[in-house]
């Protein structure tokens, strides 16, 4: 069974950079069939798609985060990464990584079929 | 951006009930609609993809219908493990987006 596990600091100071890692187990990331995604859930709010990276490093970002966000991937380590700069309290959330089945045509992904359990990140001084 | 609106935002139910959650898209998304179950501290789980296709391993008491702009998720014979939150997601374009969620209590 494919597993995804997020890791990173639980507390980040305002204006600093949040860095998270997702480690993928029991499958290879070297496939064109999937994107590797980040989704966050704000307290008392719904889910927000953050962005995705392919195994080759092609990225697509939520436009509201584009100016502060960098996603990257290291398939040799079966890991992908999130860096979010200049964080504020509004970035406090549970961050999930997920595998997204790539779709054909004008869409990005058909479905996010495997998720990590999430890591809680608080932005506070 | 495609906006997804779920209703209700919360509902109270009992074991054995049948419940229906609605999701409306701000434009036609054909059948590009997924449903997820979300519980704190757990990995979210996809229940339905492409509006009505039951994900492998998901009990048949879960069903999805709809196309275009209006969709629904129905849970029949609600079980104790079904309490939690449910989100719809559109994957019609390059920017997948989620509904606001429905908490089943």
Please give the pLDDT value at position A28.
87
pLDDT band at A93 (very low <50, low <70, confident <90, very high): very high
pLDDT band at A44 (very low <50, low <70, confident <90, very high): confident
DSSP A55-94: TT--EEE-TTTTTTEEEEEEGGGTEEEEEE-S--GGG-EE
| Of B11, B29, B8, B20, the residue nearest B93 (C-alpha) | B29
Please give the pLDDT value at position B21.
98
B37-59 pLDDT tens trace = 999 899 999 999 999 999 999 99
Please give the pLDDT value at position A30.
86
Mean pLDDT to the nearest integer, B72-98: 96
Q: What distance in Å separates residue A86's CA from the closest CA in chain B?
A: 23
Taking the C-alpha atoms of residue B52 and residue B71, their distance in angstroms, rounded to an integer, is 9
How many other CB atoms are found less than 10 A from the CB of residue A18?
A: 20
Mean pLDDT to the nearest integer, A9-16: 96
| Of B58, B63, B60, B4, the residue nearest B32 (C-alpha) | B4
Residues of B in contact with A110 (CB under 8 A): 32, 49-50, 91
With an 8 Å Cβ cutoff, are A112 and B36 in contact? Answer: yes
A71-88 pLDDT tens trace = 999 999 999 999 999 999
């Amino acid at each position: 069974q494919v597993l995804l596990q997020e890791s990173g600091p639980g507390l980040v100071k305002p204006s600093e950079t949040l860095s998270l890692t997702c480690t993928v187990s029991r499958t290879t990331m070297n496939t064109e069939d999937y994107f590797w995604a980040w989704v966050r859930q704000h307290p008392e709010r719904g889910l927000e798609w953050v962005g995705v990276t392919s195994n080759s490093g092609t990225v697509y970002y939520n436009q509201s985060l584009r100016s502060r966000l960098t996603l990257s991937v290291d398939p040799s380590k079966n890991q992908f990464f999130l860096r979010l700069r200049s964080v504020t309290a509004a970035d406090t959330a549970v961050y999930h990584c997920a595998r997204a089945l790539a779709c054909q045509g004008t869409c990005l992904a058909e479905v996010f079929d495997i998720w990590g359990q999430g890591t809680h990140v608080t932005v506070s001084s | 951006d495609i906006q997804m609106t779920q209703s209700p935002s919360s509902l109270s139910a009992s074991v054995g009930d049948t419940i229906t959650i609605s999701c409306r898209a701000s434009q036609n998304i054909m059948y590009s609609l997924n449903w997820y179950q979300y519980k704190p501290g757990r990995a979210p789980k996809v229940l339905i993809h492409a509006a009505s296709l039951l994900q492998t391993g998901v009990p048949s008491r879960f069903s999805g219908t709809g196309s275009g702009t209006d969709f629904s998720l129905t849970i029949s014979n609600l079980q104790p493990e079904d309490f939690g939150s449910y989100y719809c997601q559109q994957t019609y374009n390059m920017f997948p987006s989620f509904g606001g969620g429905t908490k089943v209590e």
